[in-house]
Structure 1
Amino acid sequence: MQLTIQNLSKTYSNGVRALDNVSLTIPTGMYGLLGQNGAGKSTLMRTLATLQDADSGTAMLGDALGSGQVLDVLNQKEAVRRTLGYLPQEFGVYPRVSASELLDHFAMLKGVVNGKERGQLVEALLHRVNLWDMRKKAVSSYSGGMKQRFGIAQALIGEPQLIIVDEPTAGLDPGERNRFYNLLSEIGENVIVILSTHIVQDVMELCNNMAIIHQGRVLFSGTPQQAVNGLSGKVWAKSIPKADLPTYQQTHTVISSKLVGGKPQIHVLSDVAPEGFKAVQPDLEDVFFSEIQAGIER
């Protein structure tokens, strides 16, 4: 299974160009879409989830070897929805409805009309996301992580081939985040899972392939390791007094700054070692910030 996006563009009525000729090839497995808030991630996710139209471009979902059915995502919306699982950034629930009742309702809407079959499906899904013991509790009373796991359960109804999750770990504590990571990794073994996030760690932990998007444009696509290798030998670090940060920003290509032991530590991008800096092994965070900075300067 493969999702092929070509020259997808979207401009809103206020003039904001949310997608600017986006082209991506997304294979089976976990695929990270990394970008800051407002980068165009949610617009792309809603378009792929058939919730809004693009102005131009194509998105085709089908067998990567060309031997099976290929769906036109933008024009065959009903067919796409039958093979789609979607977990938006925020989703509402009925305030006093239990998890099992609500999941049963979603299964009915997805076309599982046989009551016995639906009951077996609900039980299996709640076990899979480790919510069976809490099945009689109202979903509105769940913690953030439990709600996200319930969201994954509803997204898995109908054995989808394409699953879209939009900012799924925002606001989760470390324990819930790890449980969510494990669940997504298991799901992503056999289907396409697109993970839209601004959290670099999500992509580092989960994804074999990724893209960085900024102001509606794709700045990088490939594997996380390819991205990191591209900065090998070019990232340098130094601890500096806080008051000196503006000077270094004027004289060096500063890609990030964070407090270490109460003092700013800056990472700069350079082909040669700047005076007083030490070489550091680049990571995906360095790639993200350097690509965003380069995108702003273009």
Structure 2
Amino acid sequence: MELIIDNLSKTYSNGIKALQNISLNIPKGMFGLLGPNGAGKSTLMRTIAALQEADTGTITLGDIDVLKQKNELRQVLGYLPQQFGLYPKISAEVLLNHFAVLKGITNKSERNELVKALLYKTNLYDVRKQNLKGYSGGMKQRFGIAQALLNNPKLLIVDEPTAGLDPLERNRFYNVLSELGEHTVVILSTHIVDDVKELCTNMAIINQGKVCLKGQPLEILESLKDKVYKKTIEKEELKIYKENYKVISEKLFLGKPTIHILSDKNPGGGFSLTNAELEDVYFSKIFSNTNSNSN
């Protein structure tokens, strides 16, 4: 099964063009949607999840017309939005059981087995009796995934799922998503480059409502081979370098900025060639797209 998005556009009443002719083919597996805050990622996710209308374009999931057959979509959709509420004084086991009833799983023994299996899958079984108010951020996110999987979805959407999680919780979440991607179309919408680097076999970068780049991460990295140079500079020099070079990233190393620039040839001046990282691809595309729209 494949999710096909064709020429999707959405303009809000205030004139903001949230989506501009978005076209993507998303196969089974983990698909990373990268972009800065405000890029249009959440608008796209909500539209795919049939939570808001598009102005133009089509979305199909197998033989389902997503924009017209919303009830059919919801039967095969799992969705974990960026913000979601939980009942703090109810245990994970009780609330997950309640959600299962709402999704039409009325056979008690079948429902209990499903809830048990999902709590194990998301590593929450040992704390199933604990009220949700005592859960960490990562535990709440894993509970969100558990409820999204109750209907064995063919399409799973997760919007900014690891923001604010510590490294241990993020790794646990990675493991859950990675396993799901073996059998399901999973869209991971995020501004965190490491999420896509760790998990996804296909990806797209979106900025200002447009797709800047799409493909497989390893192939995309090849596009910057022998084009990324680095140099450690003084803080007061940063402005000058930004004026004279295409600086695509900067990080502090021992208190000094280390910059990465994009150049088709060796710029000299103490720069050294470095291996391109997915973060370099991301910032080079965001930089290029932002500049082209400001000119």
Shorter-chain TM-score above 0.5: yes
In structure 1, distance between residues paired with 2:239 and 2:208: 25
Secondary structure, aligned partner of 1:205 = helix
Cα offset, 1:114, TM superposition: 1.3
Q: Does 1:197 align with 2:190?
A: yes
Cα offset, 1:88, TM superposition: 0.7
- CA deviations 1:131-155 (Å, max 9, x no partner) are 1111111122200010011011001
Gaps of 5+ in 1: 63-69
In structure 2, distance between residues paired with 1:262 and 1:210: 33
Partner of 2:115: 122
Gaps of 5+ in 2: none
- CA deviations 1:88-123 (Å, max 9, x no partner) are 111101121110111011111111111221111111
TM (normalized to structure 1)? 0.96
TM (normalized to structure 2)? 0.97
Secondary structure, aligned partner of 1:91 = coil
Partner of 2:289: 295
Q: Does 1:52 align with 2:23?
A: no
Partner of 1:137: 130
In structure 2, distance between residues paired with 1:14 and 1:111: 39
Q: Does 1:75 align with 2:60?
A: no
1:26-175, aligned counterparts within 5 Å? 26-62=26-62, 70-175=63-168
Partner of 1:17: 17
In structure 2, distance between residues paired with 1:52 and 1:106: 23
Cα offset, 1:204, TM superposition: 0.2
In structure 2, distance between residues paired with 1:2 and 1:183: 21
Sequence identity (%): 61
2:42 counterpart letter in structure 1 = S
Cα offset, 1:128, TM superposition: 1.1
Aligned residue pairs: how many? 291
In structure 1, distance between residues paired with 2:289 and 2:256: 28
1:248-267, aligned counterparts within 5 Å? 248-267=241-260
2:25 counterpart letter in structure 1 = T
1:168 counterpart letter in structure 2 = P
Q: Does 1:281 align with 2:281?
A: no
Partner of 1:235: 228
1:266 counterpart letter in structure 2 = I
Partner of 1:65: none
In structure 1, distance between residues paired with 2:175 and 2:97: 25
In structure 2, distance between residues paired with 1:273 and 1:175: 39
Secondary structure, aligned partner of 1:140 = helix
Larger CA deviation: 21-30 vs 89-98 = 89-98
Cα offset, 1:226, TM superposition: 1.5
Secondary structure, aligned partner of 2:261 = strand
1:221 counterpart letter in structure 2 = K
- CA deviations 1:47-104 (Å, max 9, x no partner) are 1111111111000001xxxxxxx00011100000000000111110112111011101
Partner of 1:4: 4
Secondary structure, aligned partner of 1:58 = strand
Partner of 1:217: 210
Q: RMSD between aligned alpha carbons?
A: 0.7
Larger CA deviation: 165-174 vs 105-114 = 105-114
In structure 2, distance between residues paired with 1:40 and 1:78: 24
